[in-house]
Amino acid sequence: MEKTKLLYEGKAKKIWETANKDFLISEFKDSLTAFNGEKKSEEEGKGALNNAISAALFEYLESKGIPSHYVKMIDKDNMLHKRAEVILIEVIVRNIATGSLSRNLGIEDGTVLPFTLVEFDYKNDALGDPKLNDQHALILELVKSTDELDYIRYMARKINKFLQEFYSELDLKLVDFKLEFGRDSNDNIILIDELSPDNFRLWDAKTNEKMDKDRFRQGLGGLKEAYEEVLNRIQNRGQ
Ligand SMILES: Nc1ncnc2c1ncn2[C@@H]1O[C@H](COP(=O)(O)OP(=O)(O)O)[C@@H](O)[C@H]1O
Ligand SMILES: [Mg+2]
């Protein structure tokens, strides 16, 4: 399937329409942004790494019965997927405290949480992606009911369990991550967007070295090498 018209250009991807209205193509960009777009950079080849990592993770989750928008990887930068109506909630799943959770609640960086925390942020750059509770989400009509929020939390926990298993085999700790969900043409809630180290915090299980976008946020360097290492471990999984 070929690209017809640019639908949207975001911070990390261009979203293209295709001749079939139910399918879109995500073109993964090399641009990097952090702190709500305040810090920006480019890293050649980053888009292709995120595309390949996302494709592998969508395929793995599909094998576990998780419904998603994923269809296939078209080439190194492009992924074919179903069109969805985006639910404007960033679903944050946390296993270990770091980043804003540590800062906001004074929990020491690296503390293993007593249970997996699932939080919602409003996906709205102009407002700086504020935290949402269930009542906020209903007032903003981001979902139809509390049941839908419960379903999203249930799916997020299930995905977390599968991804924790996946990464532990690769000697990586899944610290936290962001998911997006949308509605497909049958009004089913499905997993959408990308599954990449731009949106996941991964620490090496032995050294605790950061293998994700924190390398860019914190100016540590070696971002591309870290993403390449994640992809290598995924590709060599089970060998
Ligand atoms: N299956 C889908 N259908 C429609 N929109 C999607 C789908 N998957 C992801 N999107 C949306 O496309 C955009 C992806 O581009 P990205 O660069 O990540 O944007 P942003 O800067 O908004 O995060 C996001 O707004 C995301 O919500
Ligand atoms: Mg995005």
List pLDDT tens digits, range 12-26. 999 999 999 999 999
CATH of domain 3-82: 3.30.200.20
What pLDDT does 239 receive?
82
Could you tell me if the CB of 37 is within 6 A of ligand 1? no
What sections of the chain are H helices per DSSP? 46-63, 99-105, 134-139, 146-169, 214-217, 223-235
- Find the ligand nearest to 178 CA: 2
Could you tell me if the CB of 10 is within 6 A of ligand 1? yes
Q: Please, what's the b/e burial string for 13-42 (b: 16 or more CB within 10 A of its CB; e: otherwise)?
A: bbbbbbeeeebbbbbbbbebbbeeeeeeee
- DSSP assignment letter at 96: E
Q: How many alpha carbons fall within 13 Å on the CB side of residue 147?
A: 3
What pLDDT does 237 receive?
93
pLDDT digits (tens, 9 = 90+) for 165-181: 999 999 999 999 999 99
By most ligand atoms within 8 Å of CB, the mutation choice from 5, 6, 8 for ligand 1 is 8
Atom of ligand 1 nearest to the CA of 69: 1
Measured from the Cβ of residue 148, the count of other Cβ atoms closer than 10 Å reads: 18
Q: How many alpha carbons fall within 13 Å on the CB side of residue 102?
A: 12
Domain ranges for the chain, please list them.
Answer: 3-82, 85-222
What are the residue ranges in the chain where pLDDT is below 70? none
What pLDDT does 106 receive?
98
What pLDDT does 1 receive?
83
Could you tell me if the CB of 13 is within 6 A of ligand 1? yes
- DSSP assignment letter at 210: B
From the options 3.40.50.2300, 3.30.470.20, 1.10.1040.10, 3.90.180.10, give the CATH code of 85-222. 3.30.470.20
Could you tell me if the CB of 81 is within 6 A of ligand 1? yes
